[in-house]
Protein backbone atom coordinates (compact mmCIF):
# COMPACT_ATOMS: atom_id res chain seq x y z
CA UNK A 1 0.00 0.00 0.00
CA UNK A 2 1.23 3.52 -0.70
CA UNK A 3 2.90 5.91 1.67
CA UNK A 4 1.19 9.30 1.65
CA UNK A 5 3.05 12.16 3.32
CA UNK A 6 1.15 15.29 4.32
CA UNK A 7 3.32 18.40 4.70
CA UNK A 8 1.59 21.02 6.83
CA UNK A 9 -0.52 18.45 8.67
CA UNK A 10 -1.23 20.99 11.40
CA UNK A 11 -3.87 22.34 9.01
CA UNK A 12 -6.28 20.04 10.80
CA UNK A 13 -9.49 20.75 8.90
CA UNK A 14 -7.82 20.44 5.50
CA UNK A 15 -5.98 17.29 6.61
CA UNK A 16 -9.35 15.86 7.63
CA UNK A 17 -10.75 16.54 4.18
CA UNK A 18 -7.90 15.15 2.09
CA UNK A 19 -6.69 12.31 4.31
CA UNK A 20 -10.19 11.48 5.54
CA UNK A 21 -11.07 11.04 1.87
CA UNK A 22 -8.14 8.61 1.50
CA UNK A 23 -9.41 6.57 4.44
CA UNK A 24 -12.74 6.16 2.63
CA UNK A 25 -11.15 4.95 -0.61
CA UNK A 26 -11.06 1.15 -0.84
CA UNK A 27 -7.78 1.33 -2.75
CA UNK A 28 -6.12 3.49 -0.08
CA UNK A 29 -7.51 2.14 3.20
CA UNK A 30 -4.27 0.33 4.11
CA UNK A 31 -1.96 3.27 3.36
CA UNK A 32 0.88 4.45 5.53
CA UNK A 33 0.02 8.08 6.27
CA UNK A 34 2.94 10.24 7.41
CA UNK A 35 2.11 13.57 9.05
CA UNK A 36 4.62 16.41 9.26
CA UNK A 37 4.38 19.94 10.63
CA UNK A 38 6.72 22.32 12.42
CA UNK A 39 3.96 23.06 14.98
CA UNK A 40 4.14 19.95 17.15
CA UNK A 41 0.96 20.77 19.09
CA UNK A 42 -1.14 21.10 15.94
CA UNK A 43 0.58 18.00 14.53
CA UNK A 44 -0.44 15.95 17.56
CA UNK A 45 -4.01 17.22 17.30
CA UNK A 46 -4.27 16.22 13.66
CA UNK A 47 -2.86 12.78 14.41
CA UNK A 48 -5.44 12.24 17.16
CA UNK A 49 -8.26 13.36 14.88
CA UNK A 50 -7.20 11.15 11.97
CA UNK A 51 -6.74 8.13 14.21
CA UNK A 52 -10.31 8.57 15.44
CA UNK A 53 -11.57 8.70 11.85
CA UNK A 54 -9.39 5.74 10.92
CA UNK A 55 -10.94 3.76 13.78
CA UNK A 56 -14.52 4.76 13.02
CA UNK A 57 -14.67 4.51 9.22
CA UNK A 58 -11.72 2.29 8.34
CA UNK A 59 -11.35 -0.40 11.05
CA UNK A 60 -7.89 1.05 11.87
CA UNK A 61 -6.52 -0.30 8.60
CA UNK A 62 -4.30 2.71 7.83
CA UNK A 63 -1.02 3.26 9.66
CA UNK A 64 -0.95 6.91 10.78
CA UNK A 65 2.34 8.26 12.13
CA UNK A 66 3.51 11.78 13.03
CA UNK A 67 7.07 12.82 12.27
CA UNK A 68 9.16 15.70 13.55
CA UNK A 69 11.99 14.78 11.17
CA UNK A 70 11.00 16.02 7.71
CA UNK A 71 13.27 13.72 5.76
CA UNK A 72 11.95 10.64 7.56
CA UNK A 73 8.39 11.77 6.96
CA UNK A 74 9.19 11.90 3.24
CA UNK A 75 11.30 8.74 3.03
CA UNK A 76 9.88 6.21 0.52
CA UNK A 77 6.68 8.22 0.01
CA UNK A 78 4.83 7.69 -3.27
CA UNK A 79 2.66 10.79 -2.76
CA UNK A 80 3.41 14.06 -0.97
CA UNK A 81 0.59 16.50 -0.26
CA UNK A 82 1.75 20.06 0.38
CA UNK A 83 -0.46 22.43 2.41
CA UNK A 84 1.96 24.71 4.22
CA UNK A 85 1.75 28.43 4.98
CA UNK A 86 5.10 30.10 5.53
CA UNK A 87 4.98 33.00 7.94
CA UNK A 88 1.36 32.48 9.00
CA UNK A 89 -1.17 35.20 9.69
CA UNK A 90 1.27 36.93 12.01
CA UNK A 91 3.67 38.34 11.15
CA UNK A 92 3.70 37.79 7.41
CA UNK A 93 0.11 38.11 6.21
CA UNK A 94 -0.33 41.23 8.33
CA UNK A 95 2.84 42.64 6.75
CA UNK A 96 1.58 41.84 3.23
CA UNK A 97 -1.48 44.01 3.86
CA UNK A 98 -0.34 46.79 6.16
CA UNK A 99 2.75 48.03 4.33
CA UNK A 100 1.05 48.33 0.91
CA UNK A 101 -1.83 50.11 2.65
CA UNK A 102 0.61 52.86 3.70
CA UNK A 103 1.19 53.50 0.01
CA UNK A 104 -2.52 53.58 -0.74
CA UNK A 105 -2.53 50.06 -2.23
CA UNK A 106 -5.49 48.07 -0.96
CA UNK A 107 -6.00 44.32 -1.35
CA UNK A 108 -8.65 41.68 -0.73
CA UNK A 109 -6.90 38.28 -0.45
CA UNK A 110 -3.26 38.86 -1.48
CA UNK A 111 -2.25 35.20 -1.61
CA UNK A 112 -2.01 34.56 -5.36
CA UNK A 113 -1.07 37.73 -7.20
CA UNK A 114 -0.53 41.37 -6.35
CA UNK A 115 2.16 42.54 -4.00
CA UNK A 116 0.91 40.15 -1.31
CA UNK A 117 1.07 37.18 -3.67
CA UNK A 118 4.58 38.11 -4.78
CA UNK A 119 5.90 38.18 -1.24
CA UNK A 120 4.03 35.05 -0.17
CA UNK A 121 5.72 33.35 -3.12
CA UNK A 122 9.15 34.71 -2.24
CA UNK A 123 9.02 33.39 1.32
CA UNK A 124 7.50 30.03 0.32
CA UNK A 125 9.65 29.05 -2.68
CA UNK A 126 12.85 28.50 -0.62
CA UNK A 127 10.96 26.18 1.76
CA UNK A 128 9.48 24.25 -1.16
CA UNK A 129 12.91 23.90 -2.75
CA UNK A 130 14.19 22.48 0.54
CA UNK A 131 11.34 19.96 0.44
CA UNK A 132 12.40 19.09 -3.10
CA UNK A 133 16.01 18.45 -2.05
CA UNK A 134 14.82 16.00 0.58
CA UNK A 135 12.44 14.36 -1.88
CA UNK A 136 15.14 13.99 -4.53
CA UNK A 137 17.16 12.09 -1.92
CA UNK A 138 14.56 9.91 -0.17
CA UNK A 139 11.52 9.68 -2.53
CA UNK A 140 12.65 10.83 -5.98
CA UNK A 141 9.76 9.19 -7.83
CA UNK A 142 7.00 10.61 -5.62
CA UNK A 143 4.25 12.86 -6.94
CA UNK A 144 3.94 16.22 -5.19
CA UNK A 145 0.33 17.40 -4.97
CA UNK A 146 0.63 21.10 -4.23
CA UNK A 147 -2.32 22.89 -2.60
CA UNK A 148 -0.33 25.87 -1.31
CA UNK A 149 -0.74 29.38 -2.73
CA UNK A 150 0.46 31.21 -4.72
CA UNK A 151 -0.34 28.12 -6.78
CA UNK A 152 1.09 29.06 -10.18
CA UNK A 153 4.22 30.68 -8.73
CA UNK A 154 5.08 27.73 -6.48
CA UNK A 155 4.26 25.05 -9.05
CA UNK A 156 6.34 26.89 -11.67
CA UNK A 157 9.30 27.10 -9.28
CA UNK A 158 9.12 23.38 -8.55
CA UNK A 159 8.86 22.42 -12.21
CA UNK A 160 11.68 24.76 -13.30
CA UNK A 161 14.17 24.18 -10.50
CA UNK A 162 13.65 20.56 -9.38
CA UNK A 163 13.15 17.09 -10.78
CA UNK A 164 10.06 16.44 -8.64
CA UNK A 165 6.86 15.49 -10.46
CA UNK A 166 4.50 18.25 -9.38
CA UNK A 167 0.88 19.10 -10.07
CA UNK A 168 -0.90 22.09 -8.56
CA UNK A 169 -4.43 21.58 -7.25
CA UNK A 170 -7.10 24.17 -6.54
CA UNK A 171 -10.74 24.07 -5.49
CA UNK A 172 -12.16 26.51 -7.99
CA UNK A 173 -12.39 24.41 -11.17
CA UNK A 174 -14.66 21.67 -9.87
CA UNK A 175 -17.19 24.09 -8.34
CA UNK A 176 -17.13 26.78 -11.04
CA UNK A 177 -19.97 25.66 -13.33
CA UNK A 178 -22.24 24.40 -10.56
CA UNK A 179 -21.70 27.56 -8.51
CA UNK A 180 -22.50 29.79 -11.48
CA UNK A 181 -25.71 27.92 -12.26
CA UNK A 182 -26.80 27.80 -8.62
CA UNK A 183 -26.33 31.56 -8.28
CA UNK A 184 -28.66 32.09 -11.25
CA UNK A 185 -31.20 29.42 -10.19
CA UNK A 186 -30.47 27.37 -13.30
CA UNK A 187 -30.63 23.58 -13.65
CA UNK A 188 -27.31 21.89 -12.85
CA UNK A 189 -28.01 18.33 -14.07
CA UNK A 190 -26.69 17.02 -17.41
CA UNK A 191 -24.31 19.96 -17.75
CA UNK A 192 -21.03 19.62 -19.66
CA UNK A 193 -18.28 22.20 -19.29
CA UNK A 194 -14.72 22.93 -20.37
CA UNK A 195 -12.30 25.10 -18.38
CA UNK A 196 -8.76 26.25 -19.17
CA UNK A 197 -6.44 29.18 -18.45
CA UNK A 198 -4.28 29.80 -15.40
CA UNK A 199 -4.98 29.18 -11.75
CA UNK A 200 -7.61 31.52 -10.29
CA UNK A 201 -8.04 32.99 -13.79
CA UNK A 202 -9.16 29.99 -15.79
CA UNK A 203 -12.11 30.40 -18.11
CA UNK A 204 -15.39 28.60 -18.52
CA UNK A 205 -14.91 28.16 -22.25
CA UNK A 206 -17.98 25.99 -22.82
CA UNK A 207 -21.08 25.18 -20.81
CA UNK A 208 -23.89 23.15 -22.36
CA UNK A 209 -26.92 21.11 -21.32
CA UNK A 210 -27.68 18.20 -23.65
CA UNK A 211 -25.75 20.02 -26.35
CA UNK A 212 -27.46 23.38 -25.88
CA UNK A 213 -25.19 26.37 -25.22
CA UNK A 214 -26.12 27.82 -21.81
CA UNK A 215 -24.10 31.02 -22.13
CA UNK A 216 -26.86 33.18 -23.70
CA UNK A 217 -29.23 32.42 -20.81
CA UNK A 218 -26.44 32.77 -18.24
CA UNK A 219 -25.50 36.22 -19.52
CA UNK A 220 -29.12 37.35 -19.67
CA UNK A 221 -29.79 36.29 -16.07
CA UNK A 222 -26.47 37.65 -14.78
CA UNK A 223 -27.15 41.03 -16.36
CA UNK A 224 -30.57 41.18 -14.72
CA UNK A 225 -29.47 40.09 -11.24
CA UNK A 226 -29.53 42.91 -8.75
CA UNK A 227 -26.83 43.43 -6.15
CA UNK A 228 -25.22 43.44 -3.83
CA UNK A 229 -24.09 39.83 -4.19
CA UNK A 230 -20.79 37.93 -4.16
CA UNK A 231 -20.41 37.44 -7.92
CA UNK A 232 -20.54 41.03 -9.12
CA UNK A 233 -16.92 41.30 -10.30
CA UNK A 234 -17.13 37.98 -12.16
CA UNK A 235 -20.36 39.01 -13.87
CA UNK A 236 -18.72 42.26 -14.96
CA UNK A 237 -15.70 40.36 -16.32
CA UNK A 238 -18.09 38.06 -18.22
CA UNK A 239 -20.01 41.06 -19.53
CA UNK A 240 -16.87 42.81 -20.81
CA UNK A 241 -14.75 39.84 -21.94
CA UNK A 242 -17.40 37.24 -22.79
CA UNK A 243 -16.55 34.41 -20.39
CA UNK A 244 -16.99 33.50 -16.73
CA UNK A 245 -13.82 33.15 -14.64
CA UNK A 246 -13.24 30.31 -12.20
CA UNK A 247 -12.14 32.11 -9.06
CA UNK A 248 -14.22 34.34 -6.82
CA UNK A 249 -14.93 38.04 -7.23
CA UNK A 250 -12.84 39.03 -4.21
CA UNK A 251 -9.83 37.33 -5.81
CA UNK A 252 -10.32 38.61 -9.34
CA UNK A 253 -10.93 42.16 -8.13
CA UNK A 254 -7.19 42.36 -7.39
CA UNK A 255 -5.95 40.41 -10.44
CA UNK A 256 -7.04 43.19 -12.80
CA UNK A 257 -6.61 46.99 -12.84
CA UNK A 258 -10.31 47.88 -13.07
CA UNK A 259 -11.95 47.43 -9.69
CA UNK A 260 -9.91 48.60 -6.68
CA UNK A 261 -9.01 52.17 -7.55
CA UNK A 262 -8.19 55.01 -5.21
CA UNK A 263 -9.45 57.48 -7.81
CA UNK A 264 -12.85 55.77 -7.98
CA UNK A 265 -13.73 54.66 -4.41
CA UNK A 266 -17.38 54.18 -5.41
CA UNK A 267 -16.35 51.02 -7.31
CA UNK A 268 -15.82 49.21 -4.00
CA UNK A 269 -19.50 49.49 -3.11
CA UNK A 270 -20.73 49.13 -6.67
CA UNK A 271 -19.01 45.77 -7.11
CA UNK A 272 -19.31 44.66 -3.46
CA UNK A 273 -15.54 44.26 -3.06
CA UNK A 274 -14.47 43.07 0.42
CA UNK A 275 -11.20 44.91 1.08
CA UNK A 276 -8.95 43.27 3.72
CA UNK A 277 -11.01 40.10 3.39
CA UNK A 278 -8.19 37.62 4.00
CA UNK A 279 -7.04 39.10 7.33
CA UNK A 280 -10.69 38.99 8.50
CA UNK A 281 -10.92 35.35 7.47
CA UNK A 282 -7.70 34.56 9.31
CA UNK A 283 -8.96 36.13 12.54
CA UNK A 284 -12.30 34.31 12.19
CA UNK A 285 -10.59 30.99 11.45
CA UNK A 286 -8.33 31.33 14.49
CA UNK A 287 -11.38 32.03 16.68
CA UNK A 288 -13.39 29.25 15.03
CA UNK A 289 -10.59 26.75 15.54
CA UNK A 290 -10.79 27.27 19.28
CA UNK A 291 -14.45 26.21 19.06
CA UNK A 292 -13.75 23.34 16.66
CA UNK A 293 -10.73 21.89 18.45
CA UNK A 294 -12.64 19.76 20.94
CA UNK A 295 -15.21 18.64 18.38
CA UNK A 296 -12.54 17.46 15.93
CA UNK A 297 -9.59 16.44 18.07
CA UNK A 298 -11.20 14.84 21.11
CA UNK A 299 -14.24 13.32 19.43
CA UNK A 300 -13.88 9.54 19.75
CA UNK A 301 -16.86 8.95 17.45
CA UNK A 302 -15.71 11.36 14.71
CA UNK A 303 -16.53 10.23 11.17
CA UNK A 304 -16.04 11.66 7.70
CA UNK A 305 -17.77 11.91 4.34
CA UNK A 306 -15.74 12.08 1.15
CA UNK A 307 -15.31 15.61 -0.23
CA UNK A 308 -14.75 16.97 -3.73
CA UNK A 309 -11.01 17.59 -3.09
CA UNK A 310 -8.92 16.11 -5.88
CA UNK A 311 -6.18 14.59 -3.70
CA UNK A 312 -7.61 11.16 -2.85
CA UNK A 313 -9.06 10.68 -6.34
CA UNK A 314 -5.67 11.36 -7.94
CA UNK A 315 -3.87 8.88 -5.69
CA UNK A 316 -6.67 6.34 -6.22
CA UNK A 317 -6.45 6.70 -10.01
CA UNK A 318 -2.67 6.24 -9.98
CA UNK A 319 -2.91 3.19 -7.71
CA UNK A 320 -5.78 1.45 -9.51
CA UNK A 321 -5.23 2.64 -13.10
CA UNK A 322 -8.88 3.73 -13.20
CA UNK A 323 -8.79 7.06 -15.07
CA UNK A 324 -9.95 10.25 -13.40
CA UNK A 325 -10.19 13.77 -14.85
CA UNK A 326 -9.00 16.82 -12.93
CA UNK A 327 -8.25 20.46 -13.55
CA UNK A 328 -4.52 20.52 -12.88
CA UNK A 329 -1.77 23.13 -12.83
CA UNK A 330 1.05 21.95 -15.08
CA UNK A 331 3.82 23.35 -17.27
CA UNK A 332 2.55 24.75 -20.55
CA UNK A 333 4.14 22.28 -22.95
CA UNK A 334 2.19 23.58 -25.94
CA UNK A 335 -1.13 23.01 -24.19
CA UNK A 336 -2.42 26.59 -24.49
CA UNK A 337 -0.77 27.82 -27.65
CA UNK A 338 -1.16 31.57 -27.11
CA UNK A 339 0.38 31.55 -23.62
CA UNK A 340 4.16 31.31 -22.98
CA UNK A 341 5.75 27.87 -22.90
CA UNK A 342 7.57 28.57 -19.61
CA UNK A 343 4.49 29.20 -17.49
CA UNK A 344 2.04 27.08 -15.52
CA UNK A 345 -1.45 26.65 -16.93
CA UNK A 346 -4.60 25.12 -15.49
CA UNK A 347 -6.09 22.61 -17.94
CA UNK A 348 -8.06 19.35 -17.92
CA UNK A 349 -5.76 16.42 -17.11
CA UNK A 350 -6.25 12.66 -17.24
CA UNK A 351 -4.87 10.79 -14.24
CA UNK A 352 -4.06 7.07 -14.26
CA UNK A 353 -1.13 4.80 -13.44
CA UNK A 354 1.08 6.66 -15.90
CA UNK A 355 0.64 9.88 -13.92
CA UNK A 356 -0.93 13.19 -14.88
CA UNK A 357 -1.49 13.67 -18.61
CA UNK A 358 -2.61 17.21 -19.54
CA UNK A 359 -5.02 17.86 -22.40
CA UNK A 360 -4.29 20.05 -25.42
CA UNK A 361 -6.41 23.21 -25.54
CA UNK A 362 -5.02 25.29 -28.42
CA UNK A 363 -5.57 29.05 -28.51
CA UNK A 364 -7.71 30.73 -25.88
CA UNK A 365 -9.91 33.57 -27.12
CA UNK A 366 -7.43 36.40 -27.62
CA UNK A 367 -8.87 38.66 -24.89
CA UNK A 368 -8.68 35.86 -22.31
CA UNK A 369 -5.09 35.00 -23.19
CA UNK A 370 -4.26 38.70 -22.89
CA UNK A 371 -5.67 38.87 -19.37
CA UNK A 372 -3.82 35.68 -18.42
CA UNK A 373 -0.53 37.06 -19.72
CA UNK A 374 -0.70 40.02 -17.33
CA UNK A 375 -0.73 37.54 -14.44
CA UNK A 376 1.82 35.17 -16.01
CA UNK A 377 4.33 38.05 -16.17
CA UNK A 378 4.20 38.32 -12.38
CA UNK A 379 4.46 34.55 -11.90
CA UNK A 380 7.58 34.32 -14.05
CA UNK A 381 9.40 37.29 -12.55
CA UNK A 382 8.67 36.23 -8.97
CA UNK A 383 10.14 32.81 -9.70
CA UNK A 384 13.18 34.43 -11.34
CA UNK A 385 13.68 36.56 -8.23
CA UNK A 386 13.55 33.49 -6.00
CA UNK A 387 15.85 31.36 -8.16
CA UNK A 388 18.47 34.04 -8.90
CA UNK A 389 18.33 36.12 -5.72
CA UNK A 390 18.16 39.31 -7.80
CA UNK A 391 16.15 42.11 -6.24
CA UNK A 392 15.48 43.75 -9.61
CA UNK A 393 13.13 40.90 -10.50
CA UNK A 394 11.06 41.66 -7.38
CA UNK A 395 10.69 45.28 -8.46
CA UNK A 396 9.82 44.21 -12.00
CA UNK A 397 7.23 41.68 -10.83
CA UNK A 398 5.53 44.41 -8.81
CA UNK A 399 5.78 46.96 -11.66
CA UNK A 400 4.06 44.52 -14.01
CA UNK A 401 1.36 43.49 -11.56
CA UNK A 402 -1.94 44.79 -13.01
CA UNK A 403 -3.36 46.22 -9.79
CA UNK A 404 -0.11 47.56 -8.29
CA UNK A 405 1.00 49.26 -11.52
CA UNK A 406 -2.41 50.88 -12.02
CA UNK A 407 -2.24 52.58 -8.61
CA UNK A 408 1.40 53.40 -7.79
CA UNK A 409 4.35 55.18 -9.39
CA UNK A 410 7.60 53.36 -10.14
CA UNK A 411 9.33 55.10 -7.23
CA UNK A 412 6.58 54.11 -4.80
CA UNK A 413 6.61 50.52 -6.07
CA UNK A 414 10.36 50.23 -5.47
CA UNK A 415 10.08 51.86 -2.06
CA UNK A 416 7.19 49.59 -1.05
CA UNK A 417 9.12 46.50 -2.11
CA UNK A 418 12.12 47.64 -0.06
CA UNK A 419 9.87 48.20 2.95
CA UNK A 420 8.35 44.73 2.55
CA UNK A 421 11.77 43.09 2.21
CA UNK A 422 12.93 44.86 5.36
CA UNK A 423 9.81 43.97 7.33
CA UNK A 424 10.00 40.30 6.36
CA UNK A 425 13.50 40.02 7.82
CA UNK A 426 14.58 36.39 8.12
CA UNK A 427 11.40 35.15 6.43
CA UNK A 428 13.16 36.00 3.17
CA UNK A 429 16.64 35.18 1.87
CA UNK A 430 19.06 37.99 1.11
CA UNK A 431 18.78 39.56 -2.34
CA UNK A 432 21.49 41.24 -4.36
List, by residue number, the catalytic residues: 171
Any binding-site annotation on 200?
yes
Instruction: List all residues 6 or more positions away from 77 whose beta carbon is below 8 Å from its beta carbon.
Output: 3, 4, 5, 34, 135, 138, 139, 142
Could you count the other beta carbons within 10 Å of the beta carbon of residue 96?
Answer: 27
Any binding-site annotation on 190?
no
Any binding-site annotation on 149?
yes
Instruction: List all residues 6 or more positions away from 291 whose beta carbon is below 8 Å from its beta carbon.
Output: none
The annotated binding site for Mn(2+) is made up of: 170, 200
The annotated binding site for substrate is made up of: 149
Amino acid sequence: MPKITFMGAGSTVFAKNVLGDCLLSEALRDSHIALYDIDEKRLAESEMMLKNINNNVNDNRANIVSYTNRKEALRDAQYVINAIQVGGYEPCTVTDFEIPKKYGLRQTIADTLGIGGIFRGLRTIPVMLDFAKDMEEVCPDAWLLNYTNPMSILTLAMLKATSIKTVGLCHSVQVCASGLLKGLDMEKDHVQWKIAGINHMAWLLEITNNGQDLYPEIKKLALAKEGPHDDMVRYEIMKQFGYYVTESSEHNAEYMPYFIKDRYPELIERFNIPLDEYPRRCVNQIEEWEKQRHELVHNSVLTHERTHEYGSYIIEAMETNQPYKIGGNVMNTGLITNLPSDCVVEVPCLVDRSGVTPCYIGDLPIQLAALNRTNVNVHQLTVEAALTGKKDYIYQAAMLDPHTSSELSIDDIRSMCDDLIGAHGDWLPKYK
